A and B are shown apart, each in its own frame.
Chain A
Amino acid sequence: MMRQNKLFSGIYILGTALAIAATTIFAIAYYIRIAPVYPEYQRDRMSHIYQVYVNDPGQNFTSGGWLSADAVKNYISQLPSAECVSASMLRSGTSLEFDDDRTPVKVAVRYADPNFFKIYSYEFLDGAPFTTAEFESGAARTAISDRMAEKIFGTTRDVIGRTVSLDFKDYTICGVFREGSALNQSSFGQFIAPYYALPEMQANSGGSLIGRLRTVILSDDVESLRNELAEAGRKYAAEHEGLTVDFRNQPYTDVEMALANPSTNNDIDWVSLWRRNILILLVLLIVPALNLSGMIAGRMDSRRAEIGVRKSFGGGRRALLSQVLWENLVLTITGGIVGLVVAWLLIHGAAGWLLKCICGSNEGVNISAEMYRATPDMLFAPTVFICAFVFCVLLNIVSALIPAWSVLRRPIVNSLK
C-alpha cells in the first residue's frame, strides 16, 4: 500500500466530507418535500391550485390570487374527478399570547376545513380535529402540535379544553397532533383551526373567485382535473359577464409544487428552475470532483518517480491503477463517513437556518427559522443517506480514475528521469 502524505489525505478527506455533507443535506431537504413523509403520505395523488387569474376587460385589469371559500365550495369541490378537496391557509406570523408574563411569540397557524385531515394524515396524540359542525359555525377551536403544547403548557397531556390566545382571540384546544416539517408548507401548522373562525372569512366574498385559500385536491387523474378546472373557469366567466378566468395549467402536482416553489405572482418557470437546480448540482458535486481530480493529478505527478519504480519492478498499469483507486476509495469512504456524520449533526443541531437557507420562503409564505427543525423523517432516511453517499463515492472514483489513468499511461522512462 502506498503510504499517503498526511496533508494530502486530510484535505482530500475533508473535501469529500464537505461534498457528501452538502449533497446529503440537500437531498434530505428535497426528500422531505417529495417523498411520502408525515403527514403527506398521499402525495402521489395530491395536486394543488395555487392561484387563479381573473381578467376584467371593462376595467382592463387582471388580478391573480388565491381562492375564496365560495370558489372552493361552488366550483372546485364540484369537479367530477376530485375525490376530496380541502382549502386552507397558513398564517405564519400569528401572535401567540401567554397567560403569564411571557412575551408573545410568532407561531404558524393553519386555518383549514375538516377535509384537511382526510388529505393530510395528522396523527393525534390526544383529542381530535375540530368537527364539521364546529367548522361551519366558525367555532374558536384549534388543534395544537405536540411541540407547541410542550412549549406553552410544558406537557401534551390534559391540554384538551384549555385555551390559547391567537391574535388576541381565545381558541379552545380540541386535539394534540404530532408536528410535521415546516418544509412542507401545504400541510405545516403549529395550530390547526377552522378558517371560519376568522371573522374576515365569515364575511361574504360577494361571489369573487379570489380569496385567501390554497386548495389541495385528492385525485387519481390530474389531466382530467386540469380540463375540468378550465371548464369550471369558463362556466364562472359565463355567469359573470365580461370576465375571463384563467387557471393556467393548474392544478400542479405535488412534485411540481415542491420543486418549482412558485412565488405569488408567477407561474412555474421550468427553465429558470432547471437552471437553478443544475447550478446547485454543479456547485455541490462537480466543483469538489474537479478539485479532487486536480489533487489526484498533482499527487500522481509528484509520485511519478514512485510510479516509474513500481512499473520497472513489475507493476502493470492495471495493478497500479487498482492500487491508486483502492487508496482513493479508502480516503473517500473515510471522508464519506465523516460527511454523513457532519450532515446528520448539522440537520440535528442546525436544521432551522440550514433548511431555511436551502428552501427559502416557499410558496410565498415566510416561515421563521426556528419553525424548521429536524423531524424523524429527516434523521432516519437511510435511503437518502445511502444514495447521496454512493453517488459521491462513484463521482470520486471517476474523478480519481481519469488523472490516474493519464499518468499511468505515460512511458516509464519519462517517470524515471
Chain B
Amino acid sequence: MSTIIKLSDISKIYRTKTIETQALDKVNLDIEEGEFLSVMGPSGCGKSTLLNIIGLLDKPTTGIVELCGRPTAGLKDKALARLRNETLGFVFQSFHLIPTLSVLDNVIVPLMYRAGSRNNKKLALEALEKVELSHRVNHMPSQLSGGQAQRVAIARAIVGNPSIVLADEPCGNLDSRMSGEIMDLLHSLNREDGRTIVMVTHNEDQARATDRIIHFFDGRRVE
C-alpha cells in the first residue's frame, strides 16, 4: 500500500486584526491508500482545519501537503479546482446541499466542472442508487430528512469517483439511527470501493469501527 495523503510539519495560524490563533502546530501525518481514518479531539483543537488543508480548501501557513505523491504547494486556482474535482469528495456536517437544485442536480454538480458531460445523469443516478435514494431524485433538498440529505451529500461526494472522501462530522446533525445508516454507507465506500476516508467525529463508537484513530489537542497530534 502507498501513502495517498502526506502532511509534513503542517502549521496553520489564523490571523485577525486582534488575535492570532495557532489552529495547527507542526502536524505530521501519513494516510495510506484505502485507509479509513478517524480524527478526534475537543472542540477547537483544529480538526476541521486539518480536513480543510487536506481537502485543498485552505492553505497551511507552513508545511507541505502531498496528495497521491504530488506536492500541492504553488498550484494555481484552476489546478487546485481540478485536483479537488478529480481526487476529493467532501461530506459536511450540515450537508450543504444547494437548496435551489433538485436531488439529481445536486449530485451532478461535481460533474459539471469536468470536460465531456454526456454521462452525467447516468453517473448521478448510479451514485444515488448506491445511497439508496433512487426514488427521491426529483425531490428538493427541503423535502428530505436529515439522513436522506446526508446520503445525497455522500452521493455527490462519490459521483466523480474520487479516491479520497473527507467527512467532517458527517453524523453530527443526525440521530443515532440515521448515523448508523451513514456509517454503514461510509464503511461500504471504504471496503467495497477502496476509497480512502478521513472522518472527523466526536463519537467513540464510530471511531473505534474505523482502521485508525488519531487524537488532537490544541492543534497538536497526541497519542
A216 to chain B, nearest CB (A): 62
With A5-B100, A317-B77, A412-B57 as contacts: A312 and B113 at CB distance below 8 Å:
no
A413 at the interface (CB under 8 A from B): yes
Whether a CB of chain A sits under 8 angstroms from the CB of B212 is no
Q: Report the bound CA distance from A411 to B96 in whole Å.
A: 17
Q: Please give the distance in Å from A414's CB to the nearest CB on chain B.
A: 9
A316 adjacent to chain B (CB < 8 Å): yes
Of the 9-residue stretches A80-88, A302-310, A367-375, A384-392, which lies at the interface with chain B?
Answer: A302-310
The one of A315, A412, A413 in contact with B113, judged by C-beta atoms closer than 8 angstroms, is A315
**A412 CA / B80 CA spacing, docked (Å):** 12
Q: Does B101 contact A (CB under 8 A)?
A: yes
* Closest partner residue, chain B, to A310 (CB atom): B109
Interface string of A404-417 (1 = CB under 8 A from B): 00000001110010
How far does the alpha carbon of A319 sit from the alpha carbon of B82 in the complex, in Å?
11
Chain A minimum-CB-distance residue to B166: A312
A313 touches B113 (CB 8 A): yes
Interface SS majority for chain B:
mixed
The verdict on B144 contacting chain A, using a C-beta distance below 8 Å, is: no
* A275 lies within 8 A of chain B by Cβ: no
A315 to B160, CA, bound (A): 13
Q: A412-B57, A413-B52 are in contact. Are A316 and B101 (CB under 8 A)?
A: no
Query: 1/0 per residue B83-124: CB within 8 Å of A?
Result: 011101110100011111100000001101110000000000
Choose from B55, B99, B100, B101 the contact partner of A312 (Cβ within 8 Å): B55
A412 to B88, CA, bound (A): 15
Q: Which of B55, B96, B109 contacts A305 (CB 8 A)?
A: B96
**How far apart are the CA atoms of A237 and B100 in the complex, in Å?**
81
B90 contact from A305, A313, A316, Cβ within 8 A: A313
Given contacts A3-B101, A315-B81, A316-B81, contact A413 B109 (CB under 8 A): no
In the bound complex, residues from chain B placing their C-beta under 8 Å from that of A319 are: 81, 113
Q: Tell me, yes or no, whether A271 is within 8 Å of chain B by CB.
A: no
| Contact pattern, B 132-174, Cβ under 8 Å of A = 1, otherwise 0 | 0000000000000000000000001000100000000000000
| A416 and B160 contact, Cβ closer than 8 Å, known pairs A313-B85, A316-B77 | no
For residue B70, CB closer than 8 A to chain A, the reply is: no
- Distance from A5 Cβ to chain B, minimum over Cβ atoms (Å): 7
Q: How far, in angstroms, from A129 to B144 measured CA to CA in the complex?
A: 81
Q: Counting CB contacts under 8 A, is A318 at the interface?
A: yes
Residue with the greatest number of chain B CB neighbours at <10 A, chosen from A3, A313, A319, A411: A313
B23, chain A: closest CB distance, angstroms: 11
Find out whether the CB atom of A314 lies under 8 angstroms from the CB atom of B100: no
| Chain A CB within 8 A of B78 CB | yes
- Let me know if A2 is at the binding interface, CB within 8 A: yes
A312 to B81, alpha carbons, bound, how many Å?
A: 7
A147 interface residue, CB < 8 Å from B? no
Which residues, 52 to 80 on B, are CB-close (under 8 Å) to A? 52, 55, 57-58, 77-78, 80
Which listed residue (A5, A310, A313, A412) contacts B58, Cβ 8 A? A412
A5 to B100, CA, bound (A): 8
B55 to A, closest residue via Cβ: A312
Contacts of A106 in B (CB 8 A): none
User: For A2, what are the chain B residues with a Cβ–Cβ distance below 8 Å?
Assistant: 98, 100
Known contacts: A3-B100, A308-B96. The answer to whether A313 contacts B77 by CB under 8 A is no
A311 within 8 A of partner (CB): yes
Complexed CA–CA distance, A310 and B105 (Å): 12
Query: Complex Cα distance A5/B96, Å?
Result: 18
Distance from B58 Cβ to chain A, minimum over Cβ atoms (Å):
5
Cβ 8 A contact of A314, one of B52, B92, B98, B160:
B160
Q: Which residues of A contact B82 (CB under 8 A)?
A: 314, 316
A2, A308, A309, A413 pick with most chain B CB within 10 angstroms: A309
Which of chain B's residues have a CB closer than 8 A to the CB of A314?
A: 81-82, 84-86, 110, 113-114, 160
Q: Mark A317-347, 1 if CB is under 8 A from B, else 0.
A: 1110000000000000000000000000000
Contact with B along A351-385 (1 / 0, CB 8 A): 00000000000000000000000000000000000
Report yes or no: B90 in contact with A312, Cβ–Cβ below 8 A: yes
Q: How far is the CA of A411 from the CA of B14 in the complex (A)?
A: 12
Does the CB pair B92–A416 fall under 8 Å?
Answer: yes
What 3 A-B pairs have minimum CB-CB distances, sorted nearest first?
Answer: A314-B85, A316-B81, A314-B113
Residues of B within 8 A of A (CB): 52, 55, 57-58, 77-78, 80-82, 84-86, 88-90, 92, 96-101, 109-110, 112-114, 156, 160
B-binding residues in A (CB < 8 A): 2-5, 305-306, 308-319, 411-413, 416
Q: What are 8 residue pairs bridging A and B, where the CB atoms are less than 8 Å apart in the complex?
A: A2-B98, A2-B100, A312-B88, A313-B85, A313-B109, A313-B156, A314-B113, A413-B57
List 14 extra interface pairs beyond A411-B58, A416-B92, CB under 8 A. Answer: A311-B57, A311-B84, A312-B55, A314-B113, A315-B112, A316-B78, A316-B80, A316-B81, A317-B77, A318-B77, A413-B57, A413-B58, A416-B57, A416-B96
